[in-house]
Amino acid sequence: MTDSFRRWNRSLLVVFGVFVIVFLIGPSIVIVPMGFTAGQSLSFPPVGFSLNWYGKMLSDPAWTSGFINSFQVAVCTAVVASVLGTMTALGIARGRFPGKTIANALILSPLVVPVIVIGIGMFSFFVRFKLSGTLVGMVIAHTALSVPYVVVSVSTSLRSMDRNLEMAAANLGANPWRTFRRITLPLIMPGVFAGALFAFLESWDEVVVSIFMTTTKFRTLPVVMWEQVRQVVDPTVAAVATVLLATTTTVLTLALVVRRQTPVR
């Protein structure tokens, strides 16, 4: 294979990669300038430049309450999912019990089961206990969707850590809890923190299950966006989408940076 042929293949690969990236992120990027339009409707390219739609976003009670509700649910979900996911990952990675493979598959099933099926099931279950349309009910629902991300992240950290450090602590007289608190947890903390960030993102962007779980008194931001798009489409939706995109990109970048801090065995 000649050098010119290699360069030609490399150039084609770069062009194809750029095309795929543009195809995937293009629709998300286009929405950003649409939120700064001076027009009264969504259009691309935007007409003029204005921050009026961001002002409307901050002054409209529907949008502000949606932001507050989504943030509260996402933070609570990240905390609860981190605790449950870390405990589950420890049990799966270190435990020896019958049906371990089946249990692991069930824990990760929210990643593959259609979300609409999960939403219908949760709605039927939570209505019975009067948790639909409440902060607690929303956090429980989003936690069920987010725990698999924490389990995967923490399990990766557990597989990459050196278990000789735990055995050394035990030989020096540390009990299991002290060993976990002083040795295991600090070593897997990057995985726990990354899992918490992914759980936050899952809750922050979740819309299908949230539609089943919300009421007129308690709605998350994605649900408000969905309702606004159904009723009237104005550039405020683009402004809110830009804020969501910026938040998601920032948290995702932080999660990837944290994951890189996990020591490789």
Q: How many CB atoms lie within 10 A of CB 89?
A: 27
Phi, psi torsion values for 79, nearest 5 degrees: -65, -50
**Domain 61-259 adopts which CATH fold?**
MetI-like fold (1.10.3720)
DSSP secondary structure string for all residues of 117-147: HHHHHHHHHHHHTT-TTSHHHHHHHHHHHHH
264 pLDDT tier (thresholds 50, 70, 90):
very low
pLDDT tens digits, 162-179: 777 777 877 777 777 888
Rg, Å, the chain Cα set: 23
Residue with tokens 């009670």, as numbered in its chain: 61
CB 157 within 8 A of CB 191: yes
Q: How many CB atoms lie within 10 A of CB 229?
A: 12
User: Is residue 63 a contact partner of residue 224, using CB atoms and an 8 Å limit?
Assistant: yes
**Quick one: pLDDT at residue 5?**
61
φ/ψ of residue 114, rounded to 5: -55, 135
Strand, coil or helix: what is 40?
coil
As given in the structure block, the two tokens for residue 172 are 């020096």
pLDDT over threshold 50, residue 29 = yes
Determine the 3-state secondary structure of 158 from DSSP.
helix
Spell 112-121 as b/e; 16+ CB within 10 A means b. eeeeeebbee
Q: Is residue 114 over pLDDT 70?
A: yes
CA distance linking residue 120 with residue 53, whole number of Å: 34
The predicted model scores a pTM of 0.82
Coil vs helix vs strand at 44: coil
Query: What residue ranges do the domains of the chain occupy?
Result: 61-259
Is the model more confident about 4 or about 205? 205
Task: Output the pLDDT for position 143.
Answer: 92
Which of 116, 94, 91 is closest to 106 using CA atoms? Answer: 91
* Mean of all residue pLDDT scores within the chain: 82
Question: pLDDT band for position 75 (50/70/90)?
Answer: very high
Number of H helices, E strands in the chain: 12, 0
For residues 216 and 214, give the distance between their C-alpha atoms in angstroms, rounded to a whole number: 7
Q: What is the pLDDT of residue 119?
A: 87
Note whether 134 and 69 are within 8 A (CB). no
Question: What separation in angstroms does the CA of 144 have from each of 20, 40, 95, 136, 151?
Answer: 32, 40, 22, 12, 12
